[in-house]
Amino acid sequence: MDQNYNKNSAQDRIDQINAFEREVNQLDADGVLSLSAGQKESVSAHHQSLIKQLAESFDVDISHSDKQFSLGMRIASFLGALALAASVFFLFYQFWGLLGHFTQVSILVLAPVLTFIATLVIASKESTGYFSKLAALISFACFVLNLTMLGQIFNITPSDNAFLIWAAYGFLLAYACDARLLLVAAILSIQSFIAMRMGTWSGMYWLSFGERPENFFLPSILLFLVPVVISQRRFTNFEQIYRVFSLIIFFLSILVLSNVGQLSRFAGDPDFIEGVYQSLGFAFSAGVVWLGIKLHWGEVVNTGNVFFVLFLYTKMFDWWWEWMPKYLFFFLIGLVAILALVVLRRLRGNQEQRMEGVA
Amino acid sequence: MKHYLIAGLTLLFLTNAVALSGVVYNRSGEPLFELMLSERELTVPNYWARSENSGLSLRLNWRVKGQGENKWYRDFHLSKEKFLSLGFDDIEKPAQSNWERFETEKVVYLALELNGPTYQSALNKMRQAYKNQTSLNGSTKDRDVITKAQLDNFKFKSSRLYVVDLSDDFDSLADKYSDSSMYAIVKGLVKPYRLESGYGVSVNTLLVSNLSVPLELRSQFEMLEPSYERKNKFNALISWGQRLEPWIASVELHE
């Protein structure tokens, strides 16, 4: 079997095989193409062997009903993990005041260690990954509780270094268990830490990092480039998560600055600053859509589209909300949406014509 | 998996070792400052024993020099030289409104004074104002009226802990306020401003203003009534260590 398969490509291959079988049957029924019995048997044997190998190596859905079950399991796993993580916090809060320092510290230190070991043991024995991801999230919650509660118990001065440590642990667990949720937590933590540290270097208190949204630009760009520099092929959707969350933080920062120029680190007329960031918002979101189309990054195209629309709607709100009757305002919003639909359909039509020309 | 195991365990143990060694260092040697605070300076949350959070923390209750009875007003007026010495950039023109320019907070060292000249001066001022007012027989404007209840509150219940000075240099403050039984130098967050009348900072918060009560001292607080019914009082010795992080060293109830 090709060693370059990961979970996503394995699932794509199986979906392709199922689609192929359906199409061959349809072509046979339509009298367009009929494979001989020998050919059918040979193709079927090859496909069955491949599906068996892929199913043994990855947690893939072989049929449509498998997909539905998998979706249900993912939802249950996600909700269960969140609930268990919350229960860890509340359990400790319920009893910590009744314990001496030594007991408190012992529990706080041992909880993440033991859950971490349990996570790795489960991951090594389990092929589907649902239980190991659940254990990993609990371990992460225990570690967050570890540092937070040590800070409270001993009245330690809060520090931004905690975010760096949490990010490191989140990345470790995410890559160990192929856990997307923990990757998201790690990305948000490391972005926060970099933004906080940039804020500190410019003379402000680290917790006020949100008051200067420009602090998020550099970490967003760096994290967007991670999958370019380090291959994420072996992990499920990690590339997409890096790109999407980097773009979300980047564009949210621009969106805030385009409405509240006073938060900029640049001294100047807030209206001018807002105008600049509004222009940048439109330019960057359009640029991101172009980039996504060029490189076939669907999630990047969608994110760019969402923020382009957001910038457009906030601009229209600025222009019209105060003086225009509300029915007319929403009517115009609807017209703009229809115009966008027409433009996108035309662009798609042009794209299809170009592809036919190439063929 | 082995690499993940080693990396993870190293991270977990190293992090806790660093955090706990910081605590040990902070509490090593003699405390830098020790203040005997009372229920006036340490707020006990009401009905904490019934809460789902079994931990108990006391909140430091403090004022700023010149604050008066208006508890929420924590502005500290400064000369331009002092303002710039804190490391702030000059604010070229006074803000017309809070939204003209959003300044960000900075950590500085604050000098806390307990039941010292600042509190006594504020109390004397209030007594004098009350005395003058009663002799004027109600000609004082409503908002400036000081009632007997307010005066008594200031004498017996309000915090006597004041922020009296600030600097970005610890040693200069520690030298200036060297009586460690009346003064403590702590870290706090301030936000700069400039008005027509001059420069200043708002003292927003102390970096550590909640003090966790250890198990061995908890039983003392279990005997306290809720604050509005409280007749008994307490004194708590608060120590600040090498990293300026405080802890409750002892607690004593009294009537």
Q: Are residues A197 and A269 in the same domain?
A: yes
The better pLDDT of the pair A308, B195 is held by A308
Task: Report the predicted TM-score, pTM, of the whole model to 2 decimal places.
Answer: 0.84
Q: Considering only CA atoms, which of B203, B200, B212 is closest in space to residue B238?
A: B212
Question: Which of A108, A185, A181, A103 has its CA nearest to residue A143?
Answer: A108
> What letters, b where the CB count within 10 A reaches 16 and e where it falls short, cover B85-122?
ebebeebeeebeeeeebbbbbbbbbbbbbbbbebbeeb
List CB contacts (< 8 A) between A212 and chain B: 104
Same structural domain for residues A88 and A21? no
Report the candidate in A146, A101, A140 with the shortest Cα–Cα distance to residue B19: A146
The bridge status of strand B161-167 relative to strand B63-64 is: parallel
B9 touching chain A per CB within 8 A = yes
Query: What's the token pair of residue B124?
Result: 């004397």
Across the strands, what pairs with A337? none
Residues in chain A where the model's pLDDT stays below 70:
1-4, 351, 354-359
For position A77, what pLDDT does the model report? 82
Residues A95 and A125 reside in one and the same domain:
yes
Cα A198 from Cα B93, distance rounded (Å) = 27
In a domain, A317, yes or no: yes
Place of tokens 């299809």: A352
User: Which pLDDT score is estimated for B99?
Assistant: 47
A285 within domain boundaries: yes
Q: Which positions 111-140 of B are in contact with A (Cβ < 8 Å)?
A: none
- pLDDT at residue B49, as a whole number: 58
Pairwise CB contact (< 8 Å): B20 & A150: yes
- Angle between helix A64-95 and helix A101-125 axes, rounded to 10 deg: 170
Any domain includes A169: no
User: Could you tell me if residue A3 is inside a domain?
Assistant: yes
For residue B103, the model assigns a pLDDT of 67
What sign has the CA pseudo-torsion A147, A152, A156, A162?
A: positive
Which chain A residues have a beta carbon less than 8 Å from that of B33? none
If asked whether residues A75 and A53 sit together in one domain, one would say no
Other Cβ atoms within 10 Å of B16 Cβ, number: 20
Separation between Cα atoms, residue A247 and residue A43, nearest integer Å:
44
Does the pLDDT of residue B100 top 80, yes or no? no
Whole-number pLDDT of residue B174:
93
Structure tokens at A293: 């189309």
The length of chain B in residues reads 255
Residue A199's domain comprises 181-323
Cα–Cα distance for residue pair B129/B149, rounded to 1 Å: 14
Instruction: Give this complex's ipTM.
Output: 0.87
Q: Is B97 on the interface with A (CB under 8 A)?
A: no
- Token digits of residue A341: 């639909």
Same domain, A318 and A188: yes
B111 forms beta bridges with B165, B185
Domains: count for chain A? 3
Residue type, B216: E
Q: Are B44 and B240 in contact (CB under 8 A)?
A: no
Q: How confident is the model at residue B240 (pLDDT cuts 50, 70, 90)?
A: very high
The structure tokens listed for A12 are: 């794509």
Please give the distance of CA B33 from its chain centroid, rounded to a whole number.
14
Q: What is the SS3 assignment for B81?
A: helix
B216 — contact with chain A (CB < 8 Å)?
yes
Q: With contacts defined as CB-CB under 8 Å, which chain B residues touch A169?
A: 8, 11-12
Instruction: Say if A341 falls within a structural domain.
Output: no
Q: Are residues A226 and A296 in the same domain?
A: yes
Based on the fold, state whether residues A121 and A248 are members of the same structural domain: no
**A264: nearest CA in chain B?**
B102
Range of lowest pLDDT (A269-273, A276-280, B49-53, B86-90): B49-53
Which residues in chain A touch residue B15, judged by CB atoms under 8 angstroms apart? 146-147, 165
From the list B4, B54, B57, the residue facing A98 with the nearest CB is B54
Instruction: Judge whether B187 and B102 are in contact, CB under 8 Å.
Output: no
Q: Which of A61, A78, A113 is the last residue of a domain?
A: A61
Closest Cα of chain A to B201: distance in Å? 14
Task: Report helix angle A101-125 to A130-153, nearest 10.
Answer: 160
pLDDT of residue A58: 77
Q: What is the pLDDT of residues B147-173, one digit of tens each?
A: 888 888 888 888 999 999 999 999 999
Q: Report the alpha-carbon distance of residue A167 to residue A195 in Å, rounded.
A: 13
SS (H, E, C) A162-175: HHHHHHHHHHHHHH
Encode pLDDT of B120-144 as tens digits.
998 998 888 888 876 655 555 555 6
Quick one: A100 and A55 in the same domain? no
Distance in angstroms (rounded) separating the CA atoms of residues A15 and A115: 36
CB contact under 8 Å between A93 and B55, yes or no, is yes
DSSP per-residue codes, A231-252: --TTSTTHHHHHHHHHHHHHHH
Residue of B3, B4, B99, B205 to mutate when probing chain A, most A C-beta within 10 A: B4
A85 and A42 in a common domain: no
Does A164 reside within a domain? no
B214 touches A: beta carbon within 8 Å: yes
What pLDDT is attached to residue A287? 93
Mean pLDDT along residues B48-55: 69
> In this complex, which of B1, B13, B187 lies closest to A157 when CB atoms are compared?
B187
Indicate if the pLDDT at residue B72 is higher than 70.
Answer: no
Q: Is residue A340 part of a domain?
A: no
